[in-house]
Structures are given as structure tokens and as C-alpha cells.
Amino acid sequence: MDAKLYHPVKIGNVELKGNLFLAPVAGYSDAAFRSVCIENGACFTYTEMVSAEALVRKNLKTEILMRRAYNEKAYSVQIFGGEPDIMTDATHIVLEKTGCEVIDINCGCPVPKIIKTGAGSALTRDPDRLYKIAEAVVKAAGGRPEEGGVPVTVKIRSGWESKQMTWREAAQAALDAGVSAITIHPRTRAQGYEGHSDWGIMKGLVELVREWESREPGRHVPVFGSGDLFKPEDAKAMLEETGADAVMFARGAMGNPFIFRDATDLLTKGSYEPLPPEERVKTGFAELERLVAETSEQHACLEMRKRFAAYSKGISGGAALRARIVHAATVQDYKDIFL
Ligand SMILES: Cc1cc2nc3c(=O)[nH]c(=O)nc-3n(C[C@H](O)[C@H](O)[C@H](O)COP(=O)(O)O)c2cc1C
């Protein structure tokens, strides 16, 4: 057991009690899910990526994506875009509408439609553009935190493909532009979500940033790690092996917000006791209720099918329940299945 592995983190002037975060995950990390993750110990949360273009076009659906959860004292809205001017306007809109504590710039999305616009992982391979965008967002957010601005962070990949590993250049551009933290998901754009993330690169980024800090007195830019955290032990191993300041659960938290509780216990007490399945399902209902309130019963019930399938893991007769979940269309349907 190493209690020091769990510790507070500062992003600019935002103080967080611990270093277990929920990653941005499109289609999952809505306010309902983020709220149950926080109830289970997540120390910081990100919205899914929000299109800067859509914000500027005043798309209402996009605004729903960035709403603060009821228990989110501090959270980050993640935006994506390839044009500094649009990212500037989007930053103003995000801050005005949400008052979020941190703005994160997506530099990792591998989807072709997004890369085509110069956004997402196209930014990890184009450090000049990344610099211009990060600089524009920092300026729009009121300057660096020491100048009174809202902290701006980036989330990068390791590179475009195995022959084009650009994380060093991308990180340097972000540091030069004045970001307050860097997250790395050390897979290339070409890897998508396949294969293993390369924690050696994560360690390399921690070293690069510490080296940069030694030349920049007074600056501290924490490094956050994402990639292959599927159980509490993985978070412990990532913290130990890479020296990352915080780690983010992504797929490992889907339908399993309890991973935060278990990982916190593992890091602070040396062991954990998984919740019984019946307790887990109760959390599923809390999430469903909040998602209905945020969106609509129809949307929430469709969305919760995959999540309830995960919540029901380990329940006796789970397979039969899951066969019914795929048809659940109302809150009553879920109650009939589980209660
Ligand atoms: C379905 C899905 C959606 C994702 N959406 C986002 C996103 O909106 N923004 C982002 O920065 N990363 C996104 N990611 C990447 C995750 O945040 C994370 O970095 C990645 O899944 C690696 O972590 P894991 O191997 O523990 O899942 C997404 C990943 C998945 C699987």
C-alpha cells in the first residue's frame, strides 16, 4: 500500500481532492453518469467532446452536453475544433453558459470527419495549429490562471501512426501556449482504441514536462494518463509506473462508476470490497432518473440499455435480464425487469 499514490491535484488555481478522474467519453459522460461517478469518488470529470462549430451555430443539443451535474463542484468542458477563431468564440460561449472551472481541448479524436477539419488527433500531428488553437483558447479564457484566466488543458494522443509519433512536439506546443495540464492517451490515431496504450510514452511525457518545469520557475503543469484502466489495480500500476499526476478511467468506468470507489480504497487502504450487484443496480436507477430529467424518458431509456446491461453483471439470472433490457423503452419497463 502506498497512500501517497492518492493525492490532491491542482489544475491552474483549481484544487481537486484526489487524482482519479473520469475521462471524456462521447455517448457516456453526460451529467447523469458524471454525477454517479462523483458520488462514487471521481475527483474530476469531463464532458464529452463538444463541437466548437455547433456551439457557435447555437445548437441546443450541444448545450445540453455541457450542463453541470448537481454535485460537480469543478468540471471540465471539452471542446473540439480546427480553427482558432471559432475556438475563441466557442470558449466565450462555454464560459458564459456553464461557468466551468476548466476547458479542455480535444487533440485526440480519431474520427475521419473530425480530423478533416483539422481538429481532434489532427492537432497532435500539427503542433503549429495546436499552438495557435491553445493560445487562442487561453486568451479567450482570460489568459493564464496567474493572470486570472480559467485554466485550459489539452488531451493528446501519442501520434498519427507508429512512424509518426508527435507527442513531444504536441506537448511542447501546448506548454508554449500556456496550458495548465496535459492528458495523454498513448495510442496513435491509427490505433483508434485497439491494441495497448504505451505507458512508456506517458512516462516520457511526465519526464519532458518535469524537465520543462525546471527551466520555467514557478510553473507546474500536471500530466494526466489515460489508457487501459479496466480495474482499480490498473490505476495503481499507471500511477506507479509512469509518475502521472492523475489517471482517468474511460471504458473501465462505463456501467461501473464503482471503479472510483474501489480504486480510492485500493490506493488509500490497500484493498477494496466490491459492492454487491443489487446495490449496483440501485445506482443504475439513480442514473436513469437523472437522465430522464436531463433529456426525455425515450432518450434516457434507450441510452440506459447498454448501461443497465453493465450494471446487471454479476446478478443471478443476468443473461435473462439482459435479454429483456434490450427492449426496455420506459422507466416502468426497467422497474418490471429489476424491482
Ligand atoms: C466510445 C468512446 C468515446 C470517447 N470519446 C472521447 C471524447 O469525447 N473525448 C476524448 O478526449 N476522448 C474520448 N475517448 C477516449 C477516452 O477518453 C480514453 O482516452 C480512451 O478510451 C483510452 O482509455 P481506456 O483505454 O481506459 O478506455 C473516447 C473513447 C471511447 C471508447
Give the confidence band of 116 by pLDDT, cuts at 50, 70, 90. Answer: very high
Known catalytic residue at 37? no
Residue-range domains of the chain with CATH = 3-269 (3.20.20.70), 277-338 (no CATH)
Per-residue pLDDT tens digits for 63-98: 899 999 999 999 999 999 999 999 999 999 999 999
211 Cβ contact list (under 8 Å, min separation 6):
none
Distance between Cα 316 and ligand 1 center (Å): 31
Per-residue pLDDT tens digits for 190-237: 999 999 999 999 999 999 999 999 999 999 999 999 999 999 999 999
Distance between Cα 194 and ligand 1 center (Å): 12
Percent of the chain with pLDDT over 70: 99
Q: Is 252 in the pocket of ligand 1 (CB under 6 A)?
A: yes
Q: Tell which one of 37, 224, 226, 303 to mutate to probe ligand 1, the residue whose CB is within 8 A of the most ligand atoms.
A: 226
User: Of 37, 107, 109, 301, which is the active-site residue?
Assistant: 109
Calculate mean pLDDT across residues 107-135.
98
Distance CA 251, CA 256 (A): 9
pLDDT of residue 318: 86
Q: Tell which one of 25, 103, 223 to mutate to probe ligand 1, the residue whose CB is within 8 A of the most ligand atoms.
A: 25
Extended strands (E) in 160-217: 181-188
pLDDT of residue 1: 47
Distance CA 339, CA 318 (A): 14
Q: What is the pTM of this model?
A: 0.97
Q: Is 86 in the pocket of ligand 1 (CB under 6 A)?
A: no
Q: Is 76 in the pocket of ligand 1 (CB under 6 A)?
A: no
Which of 33, 109, 45, 30 has the alpha carbon at shortest distance from 75? 45
pLDDT exceeds cutoff 90 at 314:
no
The string of DSSP letters for 41-87 reads T-SEEBPPPEEHHHHHTT-HHHHHHTPPPTT-SS-EEEEE-S-HHHH
Number of helical (H) and strand (E) elements in the chain, helices listed first? 15, 11
Per-residue pLDDT tens digits for 32-45: 999 999 999 999 99
Distance CA 122, CA 99 (A): 28
| Closest protein CA for atom 30 of ligand 1 | 25
Per-residue pLDDT tens digits for 244-302: 999 999 999 998 999 999 999 999 999 999 999 888 999 999 999 999 999 999 999 99
End-to-end CA, the chain: 39
Grid look-up 491509427 returns: 190
78 Cβ contact list (under 8 Å, min separation 6):
24, 46, 47, 48, 49, 50, 103, 104, 105, 106, 155
